[in-house]
Amino acid sequence: MSVENTAHTAILGAGITGLSVAHSLRTASQDNRQQSFHLIESGDQVGGALQSTRRDGYLAEHGPNSILIKDKRVARMLDDIGLGEAESHAALHESLVARKEAEKRYIVQDGQPHAMPASPLGMLRTPLFSFMGKLRFGLEPFIGKYKGREQGRGEESFADFVRRRLGPDMLASAAGPFVSGIYAGDPENLSVRHAFPRLWNLEHNYRSFIIGALVLQFGGGNNPHRLAPSRMLSFRSGMHAMPDAIANHLPDDSLKLQCQVNSIEPTLENDISGWALSWTDASGNQQTGHYRQLVIAVPHHRLCSLPLPASVITELAPLTELEAPPVTSLVLGFKREDITHPLDGFGMLIKQAENSPLLGVLFSSSMFDERAPEGHVTLTCMMGGSIHPEYAENDDQVVLDELDRLLGVTGAPTFRHRTAWSHAIPQYGLDYQNVLDALAACESKHPGLHLAGNYRGGISVGDCIVNGLELGNSLL
Ligand X SMILES: Cc1cc2nc3c(=O)[nH]c(=O)nc-3n(C[C@H](O)[C@H](O)[C@H](O)COP(=O)(O)OP(=O)(O)OC[C@H]3O[C@@H](n4cnc5c(N)ncnc54)[C@H](O)[C@@H]3O)c2cc1C
Inter-residue long-range contacts of 193-196, CB under 8 Å, 24+ positions, other chains counted:
193/155, 193/156, 194/155, 194/428, 194/432, 194/433, 194/436, 195/158, 195/427, 195/428, 195/432, 196/158, 196/161
Bridge partners, residue 438, by sequence: none
Q: What interhelical angle do 461-474 and 16-30 show, nearest 10?
A: 40
- In the bound state with ligand X, the residue whose beta carbon lies nearer, of 28 and 306, is 306
Distance CA 188, CA 197 (A): 16
- In the bound state with ligand X, the residue whose beta carbon lies nearer, of 10 and 192, is 10
Q: Which residues bind ligand X (CB under 6 A)?
A: 12-18, 40-43, 48-50, 63-67, 261, 297-299, 302, 306, 327, 329, 421, 424-425, 453-454, 459-462, 464
Phi/psi for 322 (5° steps) reads -60, 135
Q: How far is the CB of 62 from ligand X (least distance, A)?
A: 7
Task: Count CB atoms within 10 A of the CB of residue 227.
Answer: 17
- In the bound state with ligand X, the residue whose beta carbon lies nearer, of 126 and 419, is 419
Q: How far is the CB of 425 from ligand X (least distance, A)?
A: 6
Q: How far is the CB of 181 from ligand X (least distance, A)?
A: 9
Task: Give the β-pairing of 260-269 and 272-280.
Answer: antiparallel
Give me the half-sphere count of Cα atoms (radius 13 Å) on the Cβ side of residue 103: 7
Q: How far is the CB of 30 from ligand X (least distance, A)?
A: 23
Q: How far is the CB of 287 from ligand X (least distance, A)?
A: 13
- In the bound state with ligand X, the residue whose beta carbon lies nearer, of 14 and 406, is 14
- In the bound state with ligand X, the residue whose beta carbon lies nearer, of 18 and 429, is 18
Q: How far is the CB of 43 from ligand X (least distance, A)?
A: 4
Q: How far is the CB of 456 from ligand X (least distance, A)?
A: 9
- In the bound state with ligand X, the residue whose beta carbon lies nearer, of 215 and 257, is 257
- CA 339 vs CA 102, 334, 343: distances in Å: 18, 8, 9
- In the bound state with ligand X, the residue whose beta carbon lies nearer, of 24 and 65, is 65
Bridge partners, residue 276, by sequence: 265, 290
Helix (H/G/I), strand (E/B), else coil: 396: helix
- In the bound state with ligand X, the residue whose beta carbon lies nearer, of 67 and 77, is 67
Q: How far is the CB of 279 from ligand X (least distance, A)?
A: 8
Helix (H/G/I), strand (E/B), else coil: 29: helix
| Degrees, nearest 5: CA angle 421-327-335 | 100
Q: What interhelical angle do 16-30 and 72-80 show, nearest 10?
A: 70
Q: How far is the CB of 378 from ligand X (least distance, A)?
A: 15
Distance CA 109, CA 61 (A): 27
Distance CA 322, CA 434 (A): 10
- In the bound state with ligand X, the residue whose beta carbon lies nearer, of 17 and 356, is 17
